[in-house]
Amino acid sequence: MADTMATAGAGSSGTRSGGKQSTNPADNYHLARRRTLQVVVSSLLTEAGFESAEKASVETLTEMLQSYISEIGRSAKSYCEHTARTQPTLSDIVVTLVEMGFNVDTLPAYAKRSQRMVITAPPVTNQPVTPKALTAGQNRPHPPHIPSHFPEFPDPHTYIKTPTYREPVSDYQILREKAASQRRDVERALTRFMAKTGETQSLFKDDVSTFPLIAARPFTIPYLTALLPSELEMQQMEETDSSEQDEQTDTENLPLHISTDDSGAEKENTSVLQQNSSLTGSRNGEESLIDNPYLRPVKKPKIRRKKPNPPARLGHFPFCSRACVPFYPIALHSKSKPPNLAFEILCQFIVSFG
Amino acid sequence: MSNGVYVLPSAANGDVKPVVSSTPLVDFLMQLEDYTPTIPDAVTGYYLNRAGFEASDPRIIRLISLAAQKFISDIANDALQHCKMKGTASGSSRSKSKDRKYTLTMEDLTPALSEYGINVKKPHYFT
């Protein structure tokens, strides 16, 4: 504790030495007791016989007095706790004084001797600690097991956390709009990206960059994608089939294979139609639970196979266009030598084409 | 052990009479209510509270303040002896009594404190 007060030194009468107080009220509260100690020291010096004293020596003795009292308190508390108690008793203090080198036997004699001297030093008036301007809210009061001279609890805002956040929007319409706009943005961005990184075709002759179209890659055999079922379809069919009756396990895999026999084509058609109807039947049950049209599962169109032309016994491609058909009978008949050269060229062309 | 004194077994011989003494200050504590020490109870209690000492009995606080007082006054007396020794050692005239001119200075206080094991060194001036 720094004593910033400018005192005139301890007087001979032991009265309180007044001085300029340049400290704020909060410090005064702590310094008031120190000043009392100074007064006490001055009175003790007077009792000893000194007329005056140096300020430094008075300060030294005051500091020693304060340290002595604090040390007695700390040591007595330690001894008390050493024996598993909480309330210090007289024995603790006696042991403390003995440990600090104090002759306890002389204490009663001293007490009687000091009665002769004037007992001064008025008690310290209670100055409460000034409240800070930044307090927010009420501090928690002390629980009963905490003594009253302990410091107060801190302001509640220092340890209470109240998270501030906005409730997330759960309105279906808004969410739906958001999802739709996000999806549109994603699609647009993706198509633009593909147009910029891949090949493009343009609608306008002179302006290439305004509306780029992603260049279409024609497949060599255009009808191949129509023949082969997609992965998704295969998965769906397998899932629904596994959850359905086991009677149709044999015929399930048939529609997935390309039919090779015409005679079996009709059987497959009916089985496929049966399969589709059963699938749709199962899906109808699901659809009844979900009202929302956006949430219904996608219905793929039923695979309808037309009856293939009986004269066209081609073997592999019943979907072949009829353009190929008339060529073969002509080629078959080419065994006889055609008299016409043009006809020969035509036959060769047909063979290379077929 | 109830009296706080360890009685030697050789005392049974009768040669040595054991000294039975209770806790020294129990009786004194009763008388303490009459004496009020110089240090107020509030001040001593404040410093004891800061050290963690919660006094259940106000007389204990007075006992501690009295002990602290005695500590300081012992040092003051020693310093006074030093001051008197310095005064009379130089052989001043006896007519002039120095009793009223004692001033506590650091030169007297330092050796007095060193006997207690407290070494203080204060600068004489600040530059």
Residue A33 touches chain B, beta carbons under 8 Å: yes
pLDDT digits (tens, 9 = 90+) for B98-112: 556 788 888 888 999
Q: Quick one: CA torsion of A194, A197, A198, A203, rounded to 10 degrees? A: 70
In a domain, B65, yes or no: yes
Reply yes or no on whether the pLDDT at A23 is more than 60.
no
Of the listed ranges A9-23, A136-150, A247-261, B63-77, the least confidently predicted one is A9-23
Query: B32 and chain A: CB distance < 8 Å anywhere?
Result: yes
pTM over 0.90: no
CA distance A12 to A17: 10
pLDDT value of residue A179: 94
Tokens for A89? Answer: 């008793």
Classify strands A52-53 and B103-104 as parallel, antiparallel or unpaired.
parallel
Residue of B91 and A6 predicted with greater confidence: B91
Residue B6 lies in a domain: no
Domain extent, residue B38, equals 23-87+103-114
Distance (Å) from the C-alpha of residue A28 to the closest C-alpha of chain B? 14
pLDDT digits (tens, 9 = 90+) for A264-286: 445 545 455 555 444 444 455 55
Residue B73 lies in a domain: yes
Confidence of residue A83 (pLDDT cuts 50, 70, 90): very high
Summary mean pLDDT of chain B: 77
Asked whether the beta carbons of residue B38 and residue A77 sit closer than 8 angstroms, the reply is: no
Domains of chain A: 27-122+341-353 (1.10.20.10)
Q: Is residue B93 part of a domain?
A: no
* B80 within some domain: yes
Answer whether residue B1 is part of any domain.
no
Q: What is the pLDDT of residue A118?
A: 56
Tokens of A14: 């032991």
The tens digit of pLDDT for each residue in A284-320 reads 555 455 677 777 777 788 887 765 555 544 444 444 4
Counted domains in chain B: 1
Complex prediction ipTM: 0.80
B53 within domain boundaries: yes
A109 touches B at CB < 8 Å? no
The structure tokens listed for A132 are 């800070």
Number of H helices, E strands in chain A: 11, 3
Percent of chain A with pLDDT over 70: 56
Residues A54, B28: C-beta atoms closer than 8 Å: no
pLDDT for A353 equals 56
